[in-house]
Amino acid sequence: MTDDETLLLLSAYADGELSPGEVLAMDRRLAADPDARAMAERLRDLSGTLRATLAGPPAPESLRARVIEQIGFFDPPQSHNRLGGPLGSRLGSWLESWSGTWRGSWQALAATLLLGLVGGAGLGGGAVYLDRPGGAPDTGEVVLAGHLRGLAAPQPFDVASSDRHVVKPWFNGRTTIAPEAPDLSDKGFPLVGGRVDIVGGTPVPTLVYRRDRHVISVTVIPAADGPAAGEERRDGSTIERWRLGDLTYWAVSDLNRRDLRTFVDLFQSRTGGPPG
C-alpha cells in the first residue's frame, strides 16, 4: 500500500522534478517495494494515456484568420487607425514621428524585426530578406526563425515522411548537404519530415522530429568559425548546436532542456558519436 506522500513523490519522480538526492532515495525505495513500483507504473501509464486524451484538433484556421484580422496585420503602414479610438490614432502619430529616427534605431530593432518578418512570411507569402548594415544576422537567429516559420505554417516540413531513406535523398538537388536522418522513433522522437531553410542566403536542410506535441528542428549548415558546441535560450526556445566533421548541427525546440539534451545525445550517437 502506498501512502499519500509516496504518491506525491512518485508523481514528481515521474515528472523528473525531484532533487538528485530524492531521486536516489526513490530509486532505492522502488527497488525494494513492489507496491511503490506498481504505483509508479500506473502513474506512467496514466501519463501516456493522458497525453492522447488531452490532445485534440488544432486551432481552427478561422480563428487564426480572425486574430490576424483583429491585430490588423495586413494594414498598409499609413492607415494605423484601424484599431479605432484614441489608441489607434496615437499609435499612428507615434509611428510618423518615429519613422524619422528609424535609421538610428535600426541596429537595435533589426534582430526582432527580422525574426518577426520571417516568422510572418508564412502568412503573407514569400520570404523577406533584410539587409542589415551591421552584417549578416547571427546564425542562431536565422535557424530559430526557420523553426518558428515552420511552426506558423500548416506543416513544419516540406516533405512528410518518417522513412529516413525518403528524407535524406529528398534533399539531393535542393541543398548541397544531404544529412543523415537517423530514426529515433524507438526512443520517442519520431522523424516526421524535412524542409529547406535559408541560412546566409544558402538553402540548407532541416530535419523535423517530434516529441509528443513538440516539434524539433535540426538544421545542418557548413561549419564556420566560432564555438563548436553550445546551448542557448531565445524567446522560450532552446537551441543546441554541435559539430560533426565540417558540418554544424542546430537543434531548436520548445521542449524542456532535459528532453532536448536527450534528443541531441541520441542523435549524435546514431550519426557517428559525440562532437569531436
Partner 1 sequence: MTTLARARFSQLVLPRLDEGYRLAHWLTGNATDAEDVMQEACLRAYRAIEGFAEGNARAWFLTIVRNTGYSWLQRHRPRAVVFAEDLAPEARAELEIGGALAEAPETPEATLIARDDAGQLARAVEALPVPFREALVLREYHGLSYREIAAVTDVPIGTVMSRLGRARQHLLARLAKDGR
Residues that bind partner 1 (CB under 8 A): 1-2, 4, 7-8, 11-12, 15, 17, 38-39, 41-43, 45-56, 58-60, 63-64, 66-68, 70-73, 75, 77, 80, 91, 94-95, 98, 109, 112-113, 115-117, 119-120, 123, 148, 151-152, 212-214, 235-236, 254-256, 259
Output 91 or 247, the one with its CB closest to partner 1. 91
CA–CA separation, 38 and 16 (whole Å): 18
The DSSP output letter for 272 is T
Output 55 or 136, the one with its CB closest to partner 1. 55
CA–CA separation, 73 and 91 (whole Å): 14
Count of residues in the chain:
276
The vertex-158 CA angle with 153 and 163, nearest 5°, equals 130
Helix (H) or strand (E) holding 237: strand 237-244
Helices (H), the chain: 4-14, 20-32, 34-54, 61-71, 85-99, 102-124, 139-152, 164-170, 257-270
Output 211 or 241, the one with its CB closest to partner 1. 211
* Contact call for residues 196 and 158 (beta carbons, < 8 A): yes
User: To the nearest whole angstrom, how small is the minimum distance from the Cβ of residue 200 to partner 1?
Assistant: 20
User: To the nearest whole angstrom, how small is the minimum distance from the Cβ of residue 73 to partner 1?
Assistant: 6
Output 217 or 248, the one with its CB closest to partner 1. 217
User: To the nearest whole angstrom, how small is the minimum distance from the Cβ of residue 59 to partner 1?
Assistant: 4
* Contact call for residues 182 and 271 (beta carbons, < 8 A): yes
CA–CA separation, 259 and 249 (whole Å): 17
User: To the nearest whole angstrom, how small is the minimum distance from the Cβ of residue 12 to partner 1?
Assistant: 5
User: To the nearest whole angstrom, how small is the minimum distance from the Cβ of residue 3 to partner 1?
Assistant: 8
Antiparallel, parallel or unpaired: β 159-160 and 214-222: unpaired
Output 54 or 224, the one with its CB closest to partner 1. 54
CA–CA separation, 57 and 61 (whole Å): 11
Output 244 or 251, the one with its CB closest to partner 1. 251
User: To the nearest whole angstrom, how small is the minimum distance from the Cβ of residue 149 to partner 1?
Assistant: 8
Output 36 or 244, the one with its CB closest to partner 1. 36
User: To the nearest whole angstrom, how small is the minimum distance from the Cβ of residue 215 to partner 1?
Assistant: 10
| 255 contacts: CB under 8 Å, gap ≥ 6 | 211, 214, 216, 238, 263
User: Which residue is it, cell 496615437?
Assistant: 90
Output 26 or 244, the one with its CB closest to partner 1. 26
User: To the nearest whole angstrom, how small is the minimum distance from the Cβ of residue 67 to partner 1?
Assistant: 5
